[in-house]
Amino acid sequence: MTEHVPPTPKQPPAGEADVIVVGAGPAGATTAFYLAQSGLDVLLLEKSRFPREKVCGDGLTPRAVKTLVNMGISVSEQDGWVRNKGLRVIGAGKRLELPWPELASYPGYGLVRTRHDLDETLARRAQQTGARLLEGVTVTGPVLDERTGRITGVVAKAADGGEDRNYRARVVVAADGNSSRLSVAMGLRKRDDRPLGVAVRTYYKTPRHDDDYLESWLDLWDGDRLLPGYGWIFGMGNGTSNVGLGLLNTSAAFGHTDYHALLRKWLEGMPAEWGYTEENRTQPIRGAALPMGFNRTPHYHQGLLLVGDAGGMVNPFNGEGIAYAMESGEILARTIVQALARSRRTETERVLAGYPHALNQAYGGYYALGRTFVKLIGKPTLMHFATKHSMGRPALMRFALKLLANLTDPRGDASDRLVNGLSRLAPNPE
Ligand SMILES: Cc1cc2nc3c(=O)[nH]c(=O)nc-3n(C[C@H](O)[C@H](O)[C@H](O)COP(=O)(O)OP(=O)(O)OC[C@H]3O[C@@H](n4cnc5c(N)ncnc54)[C@H](O)[C@@H]3O)c2cc1C
């Protein structure tokens, strides 16, 4: 009797896939993970090789923890994750420790992890699930259908200097971060009417490395001079703190500030025993932009779907981007899975065109509120007034934490309902 050999599933040619995802940061890796989990053939193209650095504060709120847990990633301390209990806010001469809220929807703790580790963990998770990750492959532009102008693939060059190569797919995802060259090549530029932050960060050897609170500085002082911007200090649990500061484009100082000098000025005022000095600095000071509040739209255009920083999805209230990159990756993957399961092209198109609406339902109202918030705090006098009058009121600050970190239950307590209600009522043009 001959042995029964199951038919091998038909493999597409190496340069073809159902979906191409450009960029394997948190947005791209998560999108690829959920697509592959649903059985689609996914090519995940990444210009760097893991592990690699990414300029970041490395802070993960309970929102981000939830997204990691959803992907089946172990977030235990044995696996190198460092937990935090909440946010310590420093401002107007006061310091307040605000534990993460107790909610049904989110865990009661946050994490820190270097992007060196986090991004590789996410990319490998996508790979384990079946996504085909190609590292060292830089996408240089779209392949377009000559007749319709629709994207049908991408051109990429390999890091080893090999020939340019075309990759083709039914849909293409731009997960290539803040500057999203692929979106720009498809005519999608950043919106000047939406918020943008710029931030710098570095690491210092310090005894404060195992701080179990994320620390946020609402006002930065040089002696009695108020400096523009907001700072953070996150203990990495490995002998160092990630220390950084940022400014919003709603602030008058934006665009003409020496960030390196600002960081040094701020740190000069810190207690010497914390060790935030030049000799303890372990990395260069590096900066990058934070694209906020949907600052690149539309999120679907001619076969190209934008996710994470490429679509400007950083939370304008607190500068958090990792959770939103991952959440939007899941929303996008579920849309694509439904779209590609439709038998007629017009139906597929109708489902893909619903992606911006799905994003708007998830974040539209909240981000609209956030855009108003950043306009207000861009005015130093107003920000200073707000800090001075809220820091002495712990209940108000607990509410502010829920609002700023977007951490509520749908049917939670009065403060949850107020945050949810405000987000629903905010004028939100799609
Ligand atoms: C200073 C600073 C501090 C921050 N701190 C925090 C924080 O503490 N917590 C938080 O949640 N968020 C923070 N953010 C925001 C966060 O870093 C981003 O929102 C997040 O990285 C977005 O993920 P992404 O996958 O969309 O983009 P990215 O992480 O930028 O990933 C994009 C990927 O695409 C790849 N790529 C780009 N171009 C190409 C190409 N042409 N071909 C192939 N691959 C390409 C890149 O190599 C990269 O791997 C911070 C940002 C900055 C600048």
Q: What tens digit of pLDDT does each residue of 289-333 get?
A: 999 999 999 999 999 999 999 999 999 999 999 999 999 999 999
* Sheet of strand 82-84: strand arrangement: 59-60, 110-112, 82-84
Which atom of ligand 1 is least distant from the CA of 156?
Answer: 42
* Rounded distance from Cα 309 to ligand 1 centre (Å): 7
d(CA 275, CA 273): 5
The more confident residue out of 389 and 236 is: 236
* Rounded distance from Cα 10 to ligand 1 centre (Å): 35
Q: Where are the alpha helices (DSSP H) in 187-274?
A: 259-268
Residue 215, ligand 1, Cβ within 6 A = no
Residue 308, ligand 1, Cβ within 6 A = yes
Mean pLDDT of the region 5-9: 52
Q: Which residues have a Cβ under 8 Å from the Cβ of 78 and sit 6 or more positions away?
A: none
Give the pLDDT confidence score for residue 1 in this predicted structure: 44
**pLDDT tens figures, 389-407:** 899 898 999 999 999 999 9
**pLDDT tens figures, 139-175:** 999 999 999 999 999 999 977 777 899 999 999 999 9
Which of the listed residues 47, 56, 66 should we mutate to test ligand 1's pocket, taking the one with most ligand atoms within 8 A of CB? Answer: 56
**Degrees (nearest 5) of the Cα angle 267, 268, 274?**
65
The rounded mean pLDDT for the chain is: 93
The pLDDT-based confidence of 347 (bands split at 50, 70, 90) is very high
Give the pLDDT confidence score for residue 380 in this predicted structure: 75
Give the pLDDT confidence score for residue 12 in this predicted structure: 59
Q: Is the pLDDT of residue 179 over 90?
A: yes
Residue 142, ligand 1, Cβ within 6 A = no
Residue 326, ligand 1, Cβ within 6 A = no
Q: Which residues have a Cβ under 8 Å from the Cβ of 290 and sit 6 or more positions away?
A: 178, 196, 197, 198, 199, 246, 309, 314, 319, 321
For the entire predicted model, the pTM comes to: 0.96
Give the pLDDT confidence score for residue 425 in this predicted structure: 85
Percent of the chain with pLDDT over 90: 81
Type of residue at 313: M
Mean pLDDT of the region 193-218: 96
Residue 290, ligand 1, Cβ within 6 A = yes
Residue 58, ligand 1, Cβ within 6 A = yes
* Rounded distance from Cα 6 to ligand 1 centre (Å): 42
Residue 26, ligand 1, Cβ within 6 A = yes
* Rounded distance from Cα 27 to ligand 1 centre (Å): 8
The residue whose C-alpha atom lies closest to atom 29 belonging to ligand 1 is: 25
Give the pLDDT confidence score for residue 37 in this predicted structure: 98
The pLDDT-based confidence of 2 (bands split at 50, 70, 90) is very low
* Rounded distance from Cα 177 to ligand 1 centre (Å): 5
**pLDDT tens figures, 378-389:** 877 788 888 888
| Phi and psi at residue 139, to the nearest 5° | -75, 130
